[in-house]
Structure formats: C-alpha cells, structure tokens
Amino acid sequence: MCGSEGPRRGWGRCAPSPMLLLSLLASAAPLGLLGEETRQVSLEVIPPGLDAPQNLLHIRAVGTNSTLHYVWSSVGPPAVLLVATDTPHSTLSVNWSLLLSPEPDGGLVVLPKDSIQFSSALVFTRLFEFDGANTSEGAKPPGEPYPPYSLAKFSWNNITDSLEPATLSATFRGRPTDDPTGAFANGSLAFRVQAFSGSGRPDQPPRLLHSADTCQLEVALVGASPRGNRSLFGLEVATLGQGPDCPLMQEQHSIDDEYAPAVFQVNQLLWGSLPSGFVQWRPVAFSQRQRGRESALPCQASPLHPSLAYLPQSPIVRAFFESHNNFCAFNLTFGASTGPGYWDAHYLSWSTLLGVGTPPLDTLSPLVLGIMAVALGAPGLMLLAGGVFLLLGHRQCSEYQRIN
C-alpha cells in the first residue's frame, strides 16, 4: 500500500501525507484529545412493561472510574437526561407506573445517588416554521411564524426497531399525531442519537470531533410538506439551569474550516464552570443528504432565557429532577431566505454533541498546519518532513510496485 491515511482523499499517492506533517508538528500543537479514555458503551431499550407505546433508551457508557448515563425518551416531548457518576457501577432504575403517572417525581433514578457528579437535561419542545419569503419587505427574519408543531403531540416509532448496535445508534422518528393538512403524510422528524466508545470524527459534515464522553444527536426533517414556498424551520430547546442562572452560551472562533466548509465557529452551551456538561455544535445545517458547501445553511441560536410556563413538561425530566424547575430555553433557526433551503429537497439536518467534561476542541487540522508550515517558511521542519517522507515514501512505493 502506498496510500495516505490523511483526512483528505485524492492526495497524490506519493505526496507527503498531511498526517505525517501532523505527527511531526504534534509536539508543537496542543492536542486536546491525547490520552483520551475509552468507554464500554451499551444501548438498552427499557420496555414499559405496560401496554403503552413508550420509548426509553438508556445509553450507558462505562469508563474506569465513571459512568455516563444518557436517557433518551419520547415520553412527552423528545428529551434526554445526562447523568455522570464517579463509579463504574451506577445503574438506572425506572418505575414505569410512576413515570407515566401525573406525578412522575422519583420515577427515574440513578443509583447510588451520591455518586452523581453532574446531571442535566435537554428537551426539544417545538418545531417552528416561518415564511421566509417576505423577510425582504420589512418583516424581521426569519419571517412570520406559522403555527408551531408541538413535539409533545408527535407519535414516535418503536425505538427497538431502529437500534443499530454496530454504530451504537438509534433513531426516534415521529410525526404529528394530529395532521389535518397531511403535511407529514410522507415526512418525519427524526432524532438520531449515537454514542461513542472512543474519540473520532464522522465522515459526514459537520464532522464534529467526538470523544467517549459525548453523544451525538442529529435532527433531520425529511419529506414534510412546507406551508410556504420559502419556509424556514426552527427548533425550540429547553434545558435546566444549574442553580438560579441559565447555562452559558458561548461562541468560539476558529481559523480552520477543513472539517465543516466555510464554518469558522463552534457554539457551546456550558452548564457550569468546567468541567461540567456541555452541548456543542457548528452553526451549520444542511439542505441535502449530500452535505457540502452547496447545501450548507446558517444556523442561528437565540440567547438563552429563563423559560415561561408554556413549555410542555417532560415526564422523564420531572421524574428525575422532581421539583427542580428552573428551565431555560432558546431557539435555533436554520437557513436564510436566500441561498439553499429546505425547499431544495425537503430535507434539513443539524447535528450537535452532548457530553461531560471539557468540550472536544478542534486543533488546527493537518491540512492547515501543513499550509502554515509552508507559509511560515519553516525550512528546517519541511526539510525534516521531506527527509522522513522520502524514507517512508520510498519504502511504501516500492512495496506498491512489488504488488503490481
């Protein structure tokens, strides 16, 4: 073999691989993920034991000294609980009859309680649709809202049928229970969740860097009929504050867009001073399954506000946090009235990471490091890289020739 294992395909077979440059530069670049621990991840669907079509997915990620529990559910609006404990032996216990009762407090617990280091939740409450066509005529972007879809009033697939143990993923796919206009006759809103046993980066943009301490959520609206020719969509997300304040919303800038074309920013929601829990995403969504620069839409996040009473209750959040109720909420809106949009292919997808600890940090990519090395004219470095490359490259190429 004489190929390069670098993240860019199509490099010349015998050209210096960007990975080679990276390894040479590694001591100079702060690599956030060196020495990252791995986790034993299991996905378990917890059956209701009653005749209720209810989904509860428990993702348990066990490390040497800790366990992360992600509990995803479509009981009520789609929601996830994130619970981190400092023991590899903590367990989740669910009392379904309590959970589905009007007073679900205590229906869902992680034991032993004193092992819990961090816990919070995200609840996806509403899907918004806006008429993006009129924004140029004075209306404020994203445009006039159509009546929102309440995600608490969706019905969801049986999560068991969508489990993919090989990729540690599962998909909640739902449509409005009551759909008088048939907008979702051929469409659905899907929440694909995926856990990871180690660090890495998916093949598809936005290629968020993940670790064993994170879980990825991909939200996709597919095939639903929009109510306008230029509909923009939005998603309302509620979360729990730690103490009296809302979590912190942060924007981080980066000069590197190799993994998410033309996106130089990472948005983060942090629940407390590090390390606590975080949500992290690139402010980009995609309007085609084929994700790239041509199908990239901007994704705007509104500031986080203490939420008002209208938010639908999530039974699992109530069950776990009991009377805790300082919810905060924000809106994500996808796309602009110009450029690509949902109207192109009736497709919209957005990805985010949820986890504990320090959020994964993109260091400069091998490509950018290579360019910098050239631009800064680090001749010694290049010489060294060239020398090592000649050694490796020559050996690899001769093997390649021998095979033929």
Ligand X SMILES: *[C@@H]1O[C@H](CO)[C@@H](O)[C@H](O)[C@H]1NC(C)=O
Residues whose CB falls within 8 Å of the CB of residue 231, separated by 6 or more in sequence, listed in order: 129, 130, 131, 132, 146, 341, 342, 343
Q: Under the criterion CB under 6 A, does residue 323 sit at the interface with ligand X? A: no
Q: In the bound complex, what is the minimum distance in angstroms from residue 228's beta carbon to ligand X?
A: 5
Q: Under the criterion CB under 6 A, does residue 298 sit at the interface with ligand X? A: no
CB nearer ligand X, residue 111 or residue 376: 111
Taking CB under 6 A as the criterion, the residue among 5, 12, 35, 137 binding ligand X is 137
Q: Under the criterion CB under 6 A, does residue 161 sit at the interface with ligand X? A: yes
Distance from C-alpha of 149 to C-alpha of 381, rounded to nearest angstrom: 57
Q: In the bound complex, what is the minimum distance in angstroms from residue 311's beta carbon to ligand X?
A: 8
Q: Under the criterion CB under 6 A, does residue 65 sit at the interface with ligand X? A: yes
Q: Would you give the DSSP letter of residue 200?
A: B
- 334: its two tokens: 């996808």
Taking CB under 6 A as the criterion, the residue among 105, 144, 258, 322 binding ligand X is 144
Length of the chain: 404
CB nearer ligand X, residue 24 or residue 159: 159
3-state secondary structure of 22: helix
Q: In 187-255, at which residue ranges do the beta strands (DSSP E only) sit?
A: 188-195, 214-222, 231-240, 248-253
Q: Under the criterion CB under 6 A, does residue 95 sit at the interface with ligand X? A: yes
3-state secondary structure of 391: helix
Letters for 206-245 (x = contact with ligand X by CB under 6 A, - = none) are -------------------x--xx------x---------
Distance from C-alpha of 314 to C-alpha of 78, rounded to nearest angstrom: 8
Q: Under the criterion CB under 6 A, does residue 97 sit at the interface with ligand X? A: yes
Contact 167, 185 (CB under 8 A): no
Q: Under the criterion CB under 6 A, does residue 162 sit at the interface with ligand X? A: no
Residues whose CB falls within 8 Å of the CB of residue 377, separated by 6 or more in sequence, listed in order: none
Would you tell me which residues interact with ligand X (CB under 6 A)? 53, 64-65, 95, 97-98, 128, 131, 133-134, 137, 144-145, 158, 160-161, 182, 185-186, 225, 228-229, 236, 302, 305, 329-331
